[in-house]
Amino acid sequence: MSPNEKPTDERFVEASPKPSDSRSGRERVASQRKTVLKAHSLIDKVYSWDNLWTAWRKVRANKGVHGLDRVTIRAYEQDVETHLRELQRKLMEDRYEPLPVRRAYIPKASNPKQMRPLGIPTVTDRVCQQAVYQVLCPIFDPLFSVRSFGFRPGRNAHRAISAAISDAEEGFRSVVDADITSFFDRLDHEVVMSLVSTRVADGRVLRLIKAFLKAGVSENGIISVPTEGSPQGGVISPLLANIVLDAFDKAIEAKGWRHVRYADDFVILTRSPEEAAHALAYAKEVLGTLKLSLHETKTRLTGFHEGFEFLGFHFRRFRLGIRAKSLERFKDRVRFVTRRNQGRNVDAVLADLNPIIRGYANYFGVAEVTRSFRKLDKWLRMRVRSFRLKRRVRTANRRLPTKKLVKWGMLSLLDCRPKLRFSYTRSFVARERPRLLAMRHPRGVAQCGNSTR
């Protein structure tokens, strides 16, 4: 290497114009500015022992149920080194083929009466997908839009809510509340592979990703091969979703509108209802190029004053609350755990109930929910008292006072709330338009304990 030559990463090769390019100098310079580096020689990073071992630890931490081969995490761990060596050997010899995913159904968050299909890979396939994800994520994630918050390192739903509040503060208060129709089930495989190949040139890695997409689905003993979609439950599906929808993010940003996206859930924020209508039409056009569409009945034009729901929260009249369906889902989980006719004691019930309380408070406690949480805490104590006494009686509060429940280890939603909270503060000037404060730090808030009885 000469003294003036710069070292380059062996994974990346710059796709620059050839010397015989017949384009004008100005066109050639413009093309060079838009040059995209492609990653080469990635498969050896995928099957390296350190990468596979890290992938296994991530899969083990995420737990999950068995796939089609019925091998559980615990069973896999008994001889994990043998399994990983076999996976490594197949990847090195280019002989690895994923097994079909096992079809399972869970209630939809928006409507518990409807079921959402999941595709559960085997533990080995999850490890392999995680290994591929760990190699591809550093390549794609730095180029993703700052308006994308779902399934990305260092980003979460609370940051998405904060971005929406900040946009409203800057005057973007007209909202396109959108819903993509069956996003994961209708992902076009050609679109996915073409967008992945813009940054990845390693043919073996591309074949791996295509194999994950084309893996069969086993349901009731019948295996079918999908022609579209990416299994919900696959480790690599969220990354592929972000790769596809990043093109949508960039298109919306180029128009000067604001938007906040978490996976396939997004809102577009504009300065006027007229702009919102144009944004909706443009969003349909862009998604059409990605072979996706918006749900006609679930997509609407609204605003911060009229109200809309996003990521389980409810925005209305410049107040941030909890969506009614999220509240009912929480109550349903509590009712199931504290049902009276079960052969368990209070210890076992609180062991299951406390994580539900803690998780709900950590997520929704950032909103303006003091009054709501106070009522819910009373209801939670009533549920535990009714379980302990096997019925609901008027003297329950006296027979089982709150101090006794606390002594048993029962948590409180108010005590488990995070210190940092989202809130709006009104400024009674300029037509009482709200000045939005993303976070405030209240004093004297007790922190949630980790103890059970």
Q: What does the pLDDT look like over 357-408, one tens digit per residue?
A: 999 999 999 998 999 999 999 999 999 999 888 776 666 777 888 899 999 9
In this prediction, residues 280-295 reach a mean pLDDT of 96
Torsion of CA 40, 43, 48, 52, to 10 degrees: 120
The average confidence (pLDDT) of the chain is 85
Interval 235-251: pLDDT, tens: 999 999 999 999 999 99
From 2-16, 175-189, 318-332, the region with the lowest mean pLDDT? 2-16
Q: Which domain holds residue 244?
A: 145-186+238-317
Q: Are residues 338 and 394 in the same domain?
A: yes
Confidence of residue 319 (pLDDT cuts 50, 70, 90): confident
Reply yes or no on whether the pLDDT at 105 is more than 80: yes
Number of compact structural domains in the chain: 3
Determine phi and psi for 282, rounding to 5 degrees: -70, -40
Which conformational region is residue 314 in: left (phi greater than 0), alpha (psi within -120 to 50 degrees), or beta? beta
Q: Are residues 348 and 332 in the same domain?
A: yes
The confidence score (pLDDT) of residue 233 equals 82
In this prediction, residues 93-117 reach a mean pLDDT of 83
The confidence score (pLDDT) of residue 435 equals 41
Q: 106 with 115: CB under 8 angstroms? A: yes
Tell me whether residue 20 is in a domain.
Answer: no
Q: 82 with 90: CB under 8 angstroms? A: no
Q: Which two tokens stand for residue 395?
A: 């003297």
Cα distances (Å, whole numbers) of residue 436 to 77, 170, 294, 310, 439 = 50, 9, 30, 18, 9
Q: Are residues 346 and 367 in the same domain?
A: yes
Tell me whether residue 327 is in a domain.
Answer: yes
Interval 431-448: pLDDT, tens: 444 444 444 444 333 346
Q: Are residues 212 and 242 in the same domain?
A: no
Cα distances (Å, whole numbers) of residue 419 to 69, 223, 327, 370, 376 = 45, 50, 21, 13, 19
Q: Are residues 368 and 265 in the same domain?
A: no
Q: Are residues 103 and 221 in the same domain?
A: yes
Interval 196-239: pLDDT, tens: 999 999 999 999 999 999 998 998 888 988 889 998 888 999 99
Q: Are residues 139 and 117 in the same domain?
A: yes
Q: Which residue has the higher pLDDT, 90 or 344?
A: 90
Q: Are residues 182 and 266 in the same domain?
A: yes
